[in-house]
Chain A
Amino acid sequence: MNFGNGQYEAMQKIQAEKIAPSTVIDMVEQSGLCGRGGAGFPTGKKWRLLAAAPGKEKFVICNGDEGDPGAFMDRAIMEQFPHIILEAMKIAGYAVGAHQGVIYVRAEYPDAVTALQTAIEQARRDGILGTDFDINIRLGAGAFVCGEETALMNSVMGERGEPHPRPPYPTEAGLYGQPTMINNVETLANIPNIILYGPENFKNTKIFAVSGAVQKGGLVEVPMGTTIKELIYQHCGGAKPGHTIKAVQIGGPSGGCIPARLFDTPLDYQSLKNVGAILGSGGLVVLDETTCMVDFAKFFTKFSADESCGKCTPCRVGTKKLEALLEKIAKGQGTPADLAQIKTLGQQIMDTSLCGLGQSSPNPVLSALRYFGDEFAAHLRGECPAGVCFAGYQITDKCVGCGLCARQCPVHAIKGEPKQRHHIDQSVCVKCGLCAHSCPVHAITGGKQK
């Protein structure tokens, strides 16, 4: 991506060549640019909807509420190239007939806020902003759901950050009831290039924030359709020495995990959807054998439960119950019925939730269950293959069959014939540890405790 030099060349080109607003929209549409925030809605189509919407006042909002854990693409753009966002918003305003723009930035990005503020002041000084188009900054107070566009607009208006049902769509009745369009930071950052170099030269690249178990993490910009394998092994140096990559997690708490055997999957909207993940905003966490997939699913489910705004039942209560079920499994107290309940409940949360946050919140757990069912099954037996969860106690083959542990067990969870290896019934075991303590030959081991 060419971030330009802050000279507003694309805007000058529009002015010099007198490119009509509708032509600008045509160019965006022809480029094939899709929203980089996660949903992948065609940007040109969105602009056209807003341009066609009747209304005295229209708003262009830049969504800089980058909330996915492990994603920092927008942050880099806002901190380092704030003018490109202002330029893109001004172009958008020109194309759709809006005179007011709002940049919604999370307050956790103070440097981005400063950079944008400085840039806005500079642009106003130079007469770029403040004449026919002006931009204001609004800070988000840290709620993940405010990245959802209807919740974002509520937040901008000083209301609770809760989504509302669509229709009406923002392009019909958005901010202050006026037609509004919300574009992600990275989406907007592509606009000046499309105008300047023509839609036919648009490379359709996507920035990924790669982190986790790779040699080189960071921001990587690759063309859409690059495979996961290329991204991880060619651009990020592959696994850390002595480790094996087993999966990647794409799309933050709304996305899913993809196992190593599917690393030939191209990074584009549809292919990722087909394997149960989403492109999302581009956060990509690489996982190796030291990550427990139950623990991983628990982390993201807890994140979604904590960040649920609480408006609709399935997301508010459903994610909480999913988290409880995963907690139970991680402790080695799960049953096959719990796994079945996770699958059913997860699907129902997807089907019935109000907004995108709830609808996608079961993705991490459902994809983990789909590709790493064996790890979940191991937890039911009281084992955590990655050694992360304290899943329970096991009696190893060192057991001499003395029966001391069975006599010590307060809940009679240990059974076995004399002089034969004993076994622990994990569904009965309360993990008190008396057995391990009493074993004269140290045959009883507990899973690693975090």
Chain B
Amino acid sequence: MKVTINEQVYEFNQPQTILSACAKVGIQIPSLCYEKSIGAIASCRVCVVKVVGRRGLVTACNTPIADGMQIITHDEQVNAARKTVLELLLADHRLACTSCGRAEDCRLKRFATQYGADKNTYVASRPLPPVEINQKHIIRDNAKCIRCGRCVKVCHDTQAVGVLGTLGRGFDGQIGCAFGESLDHTKCISCGQCVANCPTGALIENSDLPLLRVKLSDPNVHCIIATAPSTRVAIGEGFGLPAGTNAQGKMVAALRHAGFDKVFDLDFGADLTVMQEGAELLERLHSGKNLPQFTSCCPGWVNYVEQCHPELIPNLSTAKSPMGMFGAVAKSYYAKKMGIDPKQIFMVMLMPCIAKMDEITRDQIQDVDMVLTTRVAIRFLKEQGIDLAALPDEEYDNPLSLSSGAGLIFGTSGGVCEAALRTINDQLPRPVKSIVVSGIANAEKLIQKIKVGEVDYDFIEVMACPGGCVNGGGQPSDTGLIQDNRGNAQKRAATIKRMDKYQSLHKSSDNPAIKQLYQEFLGSPDSALAQKLLHTNFRDRSKK
């Protein structure tokens, strides 16, 4: 179909929205409430354009192109309208850009600057609402909220948790939880998808950078950090590298520059999880008890099970997550080997995830002292004056870094399942029916199908975030003109799969470092020590 955009005729073959058509021909239309996988909400009204023959202005995010359509994307009327909409959003906004954790990738700030929107054009109509800090590690600042509705939609539709909604009506309405309660009193699973999808600083993860600075500068503290599989393919985006760039070596170098005594690869922990979880699956397949076995390395999913499906707790794998195992091994095996008092070790985890912050408050995961999300790590490295992109590659420290491709693919949906089956494939007593699912709404659908007996599986991998950890709630958001977090995540996942292909080790059981750990320290996966250090338990939190 032929479409005229700003007096130039373009030919499009695919049906699409004005927003996407314009982006394809290099015309930039700002949008705040639009994120590709969430879909059009059309609430912010920043993406308005003029369509000849249509009354008023129309939103580009949800209006499909049509043959013969004449579109004007930028003229005095359109630009002025966009500026006004931005000024209306700024009038009651807590304009704290210099101290806001989102300043670098805030879409409101970006477009307001682009259109010269002035906070003072309209007088504020209310005192700024207070900031909510909660135990779910998500800071909610409604004074920075633009009511785009993305968080509500992703929480409700994608995650089926639905704890966020609009309270009240009109100007006085606010995003919040039922009855104005804090997130603490809800079944929020801390997945952080709301944070990853917030276009402003209204939702952001809690972080304790002051404590990290203290620990890093204390010579008596042995600071170690382990980096989760999916962080190496995302952290570069914060430093201008294209989405999906493998920045593993640069990341190691940057973290070392930041003052960490040792930088380890959490893929090692993932390999360990594969060993324990695989052994557990074999045991369950033999005994026929507690099947299907659900993976439990995703803390968002574990939270969901404990809060909403306690009846599935026996089906969860009792193996700790890679993070939990790594922490336990670091403060026992590693400490002993290096002759360091475990109390002097400050164990930091670089994670794509906000729920991981929640996980370290669990009783059995006390060995981990701090979780840094990829997003916060980017901020921290910048604060330390480190340009990750410019650094030469460096290698991880030993002995807790050598890993297999099986550990690496934990970072993407399907990875845990594949890693486990790869490793125990030749020991399976019978063919195993397995399935992977990501996004809690999808998991919920699967649970319902299993309950009615429509489907039957032995091994089920669940990751709370759609696409897995590559799209985690703590990963940097896409800064593209049309925000597409899922698209970035797919690029990251593709890199992980490519890296796995070039790995010399594919099975966790082939990893010599893992073998050494079992030989020197743990014995076998079912030894008492392995069970004590590497397994956990869950509790029913459905009644609060």
User: Across the interface, do A354 and B45 meet the contact criterion of CB distance under 8 Å?
Assistant: yes
Asked whether A317 lies within 8 Å of B42 as measured between CB atoms, the reply is no
Indicate if the CB atoms of B43 and A308 lie closer than 8 Å: no
B12 within 8 A of A: no
Pairs across A and B, CB under 8 Å, 27 listed: A143-B169, A162-B166, A165-B40, A309-B173, A310-B147, A310-B166, A310-B168, A310-B169, A310-B170, A311-B43, A312-B42, A312-B44, A313-B44, A313-B88, A316-B171, A316-B173, A318-B88, A320-B125, A321-B123, A324-B125, A348-B80, A348-B84, A348-B85, A354-B42, A354-B43, A354-B45, A354-B59
Cα A318 to Cα B81 in complex, Å, equals: 11
Helix, strand, loop or mixed for chain A's interface? helix
The answer to whether B85 touches A352 (Cβ under 8 A) is yes
The one of B57, B62, B91, B166 in contact with A165, judged by C-beta atoms closer than 8 angstroms, is B62
Complex interface residues of chain A between 333 and 358 (CB less than 8 A to chain B): 344-345, 348, 350-354
Instruction: Name the one of B80, B85, B91, B173 contacting A310, with C-beta atoms under 8 angstroms.
Output: B173
Chain A residues, Cβ within 8 Å of B56: 350-353, 359
Q: How many interface residues does B have (CB within 8 Å)?
A: 35
Closest-by-CB residue of B relative to A304 is B170
The yes or no answer to A305 lying at the interface (CB within 8 A) is yes
Cα(A342)–Cα(B456), bound, Å: 64
Shortest C-beta distance, A118 to chain B (Å), equals 32
Task: Name the distance in Å between B516's Cβ and chain A's nearest Cβ.
Answer: 58
Nearest CB of B to A42, in Å: 17
Contact between chains at B91 and A317 (CB < 8 Å):
yes
What 7 pairs across the A-B complex have the smallest Cβ distances?
A317-B88, A310-B173, A165-B42, A308-B170, A351-B56, A310-B170, A320-B171
Residues of A with C-beta under 8 A to B92: 317
- CB of A314 within 8 A of CB of B45, answer yes
A69 to B516, CA, bound (A): 80
Given contacts A143-B169, A167-B64, A348-B81, contact A316 B147 (CB under 8 A): yes
Which chain A residues border B44 with CB–CB below 8 Å? 312-313
Q: How far apart sit A91 and B48, CA to CA, in the bound complex (Å)?
A: 41
Cα–Cα, bound, A318→B90 (Å): 12
Taken together as a complex, chains A and B put the C-alpha atoms of A293 and B540 apart, in Å, by: 63
B42 and A321 contacting across the interface, CB-CB below 8 Å: no
A108 close to B (CB within 8 Å)? no
Q: Is the CB of A160 within 8 A of B166?
A: yes
**Are B89 and A313 closer than 8 Å at their CB atoms?**
yes
Given contacts A307-B170, A310-B173, 11 further A-B contacts (CB under 8 A): A309-B170, A313-B88, A317-B88, A317-B89, A317-B122, A321-B91, A321-B122, A344-B80, A348-B81, A350-B56, A354-B59
A residues with a Cβ closer than 8 A to B are 143, 160, 162, 164-165, 167, 305-314, 316-321, 324, 344-345, 348, 350-354, 359
Return B444 CB to nearest CB of chain A, in Å: 19
Q: Which residues on B sit within 8 Å (CB–CB) of A143?
A: 169
Q: Which residues of B contact A (CB under 8 A)?
A: 40, 42-46, 48, 56-57, 59, 62, 64, 77, 80-81, 84-85, 88-89, 91-92, 122-123, 125, 146-147, 149, 165-166, 168-173
Are the CB atoms of B45 and A305 closer together than 8 Å? no
> Which of the listed residues A162, A312, A319, A352 has the most CB atoms from chain B within 10 Å of its own CB?
A352
Whether A309 contacts B169 by the Cβ 8 Å rule is yes
Instruction: Give chain A residues whose Cβ lies under 8 Å from the Cβ of B80.
Output: 344, 348
Whether A351 lies near B48 (C-beta < 8 A) is yes
Q: Give bound CA distance, A302 to B57, whole Å.
A: 24
Residue of A nearest to B152 (CB): A160
CB pair B170 A321 closer than 8 Å: no
A157 to chain B, nearest CB (A): 14
Q: How far, in whole Å, are A344 and B80 apart by their CA atoms in the complex? A: 9
- Contacting residues, chain B, for A306 (C-beta < 8 A): 170
Tell which of A160, A312, A324 touches B45, judged by Cβ atoms closer than 8 Å: A312
Q: Name the A residues within 8 Å of B123 (CB-CB).
A: 321, 324
CB of A303, distance to nearest CB on chain B (Å)? 11
How many Å from the CB of B175 to the closest CB on chain A?
Answer: 10
In the bound assembly, the distance between CA atoms of A164 and B459 in angstroms comes to 41
Q: Are A345 and B84 in contact (CB under 8 A)?
A: yes
Are B48 and A310 within 8 A (Cβ)? no
Complexed CA–CA distance, A329 and B81 (Å): 24
B121 nearest in chain A by CB position: A341
- State the CA gap A306–B125 with chains docked (Å): 13
A160 to B156, CA, bound (A): 13
Task: Decide: B149 and A311 in contact? CB cutoff 8 A.
Answer: yes
Q: Cβ of B173: which chain A residues have Cβ within 8 Å of it? A: 309-310, 316
A376 to chain B, nearest CB (A): 19
Q: Nearest chain B CB to A165's CB is how many angstroms away?
A: 4
